[in-house]
Amino acid sequence: MIRNIPALRRLRERTTTRGIALGVAGAVIATGASLLPLVTGGTAPDGGPAASADRTSAPAPRPSAGQKSGGTDKRNADDENWDGRVRILGDGSTSYTGPQPGQLKAERLKPGQRPPQFVVFSWDGALEGDDRLFSRFRRVAKESGAHMTFFLTGIYLLPKEKSNLYRPPQHGAGAAAISYPTREHIRTTLDQLGGAWKEGHEIGSHFNGHFCGARGGGDWSAAEWTSEIDQFYSFVQNWKTNTGFTDLAPLPFDPTREVVGGRAPCLEGQKTLIPASKPFGWRYDASSAGDFQVWPSKKDGVWDLPLQMLPFPGKDFQVLSMDFNFLYNQSKGLTDGDPAMYATWRKQARDSYLAGFERVFHGSRAPLFIGNHFEKWNGGIYMDAVEDVMRDVCRRKEVRCVSFRELTDWLDAQDPKVLAQWRTLDPAQPAGWSSLGR
């Protein structure tokens, strides 16, 4: 939603159709433009032997429609009563190992106190492929003092030979707009997910089949989204049964209490997705797009955390804060554009992220949201640009690079009247913090 602020209105007037194109996991959507082909880039699964089983507990029910499974209440109750013992859940795919380490302490600001500058880096899909980008950015985050959100695609834990277990809304059994992972990639992804959670990163949902456009998420009912969410949990909770990888340790977290938000493929379907997600205890949704840098608000009781419009260097329009949108504007959607332009495009992406950061850091302090994919498009320049930005901003004074869940914890701790006042600020407007909240 664009607020009735003159500066924001002028920004919208300068924003062109090209500037608000949305690129999400290979698909691109532009106002007045047609859907471009989906780029999957995946591979078919290979075989792999299963090892001996070691199951230690009775199955735990997965969440279902109408059953609250995530959210602050359940997490806090579990953590406060934890006796130090690890609980193996279900078939041994997941476990409860106590409170997640290293989380930001959510404290209410004092009246007039200046807020930190929050930055959220998030990743759609969260597969550890041959390029090892998941593990690379875990290292970068550790060296930068950052937490991030990894939006896991559920079928990235489901072998191709078990694809008929997935029943996508409005599509046949096993259908998907992306490729199923290799068995080896399932193994490496499981290792990354467990390690990331232990380091304080959030695991969220990118749902399953990545359907966009006709018969995609934008056409789904709330009941169909409920089915998609329910199946996401099932794939995470039953990967040992589905893969036969009984030699691997369980994930160190219970997804029914840790997964409290998601981002829909192609940013489609939020209207029916939010009502479907609420019975699962979800606290935020990151599936809207195109808002300018303003403090978040809630939709139907759920925090709406959209991708944002950032200055595009050298152009008179704003660009969406996601890697594919830079690719769309720079190489017209080609993932292998002119190599002679890679250095220029990398700098342009980095400078756009930094311009958005500086605008709010010295202005309203609205959180900055940056979305990415683990892809080496245009020679990996967007990965390099994001790494540059993380290393630059996350160690700065008063900056907190956090996950979406940490941010929602912090937002929930603040005075709603103060947040409402902050939402009226122009992104670049110095806030005069001494008077806010009084």
Q: Residues near 372 by Cβ (< 8 Å), separated by ≥ 6?
A: 121, 122, 123, 124, 322, 323, 382, 383, 386
Average of per-residue pLDDT across 131-135? 96
> Taking 80 as the threshold, does the pLDDT of residue 240 lie above it?
yes
Tens-digit pLDDT profile for residues 315-356:
888 899 999 999 999 999 899 999 999 999 999 999 999 999
Tens-digit pLDDT profile for residues 24-48:
433 333 222 222 222 223 322 222 3
| The two three-digit tokens of residue 41, written as one number | 């880039």
Average of per-residue pLDDT across 138-153? 98
How far from 348 is each of 21, 164, 182, 361, CA to CA, in Å? 17, 43, 35, 20
Around 244, how many Cα atoms within 13 Å sit in the side-chain half-sphere?
Answer: 10
| CA atoms of 127 and 135, how far apart (whole Å) | 10
Q: What is the pLDDT of residue 17?
A: 30
Q: What is the pLDDT of residue 176?
A: 97
Higher pLDDT, 177 or 6: 177
Tens-digit pLDDT profile for residues 211-228:
999 999 999 999 999 999
Which segment of 158-162, 277-281, 324-328, 431-435 scores lowest on mean pLDDT? 431-435
State percent of the chain over pLDDT 70: 81
What DSSP assignment string belongs to 351-368? Answer: HHHHHHHHHHHTTT---E
> Taking 60 as the threshold, does the pLDDT of residue 256 lie above it?
yes
Helix (H) or strand (E) holding 304: strand 302-304
Q: Tell me what the pLDDT averaged over the chain comes to.
A: 84
| The two three-digit tokens of residue 389, written as one number | 């930005």
Q: Are strands 22-24 and 27-29 parallel, antiparallel or unpaired?
A: antiparallel
Q: What is the pLDDT of residue 112?
A: 87
> Taking 80 as the threshold, does the pLDDT of residue 266 lie above it?
yes
Average of per-residue pLDDT across 395-415? 97
For tokens 């250095």, the residue is: 343
Domain assignments of the chain as residue spans, ordered by start: 108-435
What single-letter amino acid sits at 262?
Answer: G
> Taking 60 as the threshold, does the pLDDT of residue 279 lie above it?
yes
Average of per-residue pLDDT across 261-272? 96
Per-residue b/e over 417-426, b at no fewer than 16 CB within 10 Å?
ebbeebbebb
pLDDT range class, residue 307, cuts 50, 70, 90:
very high
Average of per-residue pLDDT across 351-363? 96
For tokens 């279902």, the residue is: 64
Q: What is the pLDDT of residue 77?
A: 64
> Taking 50 as the threshold, does the pLDDT of residue 103 lie above it?
yes
**φ, ψ for residue 96 (rounded to 5)?**
-110, 120
**132 contacts 121 by C-beta, under 8 angstroms:** no
Q: What is the pLDDT of residue 75?
A: 61
| The two three-digit tokens of residue 220, written as one number | 């789904």
> Taking 60 as the threshold, does the pLDDT of residue 122 lie above it?
yes
pLDDT range class, residue 15, cuts 50, 70, 90:
very low
Cα-based angle 397, 349, 393 (whole degrees, multiple of 5): 10
Tens-digit pLDDT profile for residues 55-76:
333 333 444 444 444 444 556 6
Instruction: Indicate the burial class of 65 (C-beta count within 10 angstroms; 0-12, 13-18, 19 or more).
Output: middle
Q: What is the pLDDT of residue 315?
A: 83
pLDDT range class, residue 292, cuts 50, 70, 90:
confident
CATH topology for the 108-435 domain: TIM Barrel (3.20.20)
**290 contacts 320 by C-beta, under 8 angstroms:** yes
| CA atoms of 244 and 3, how far apart (whole Å) | 52
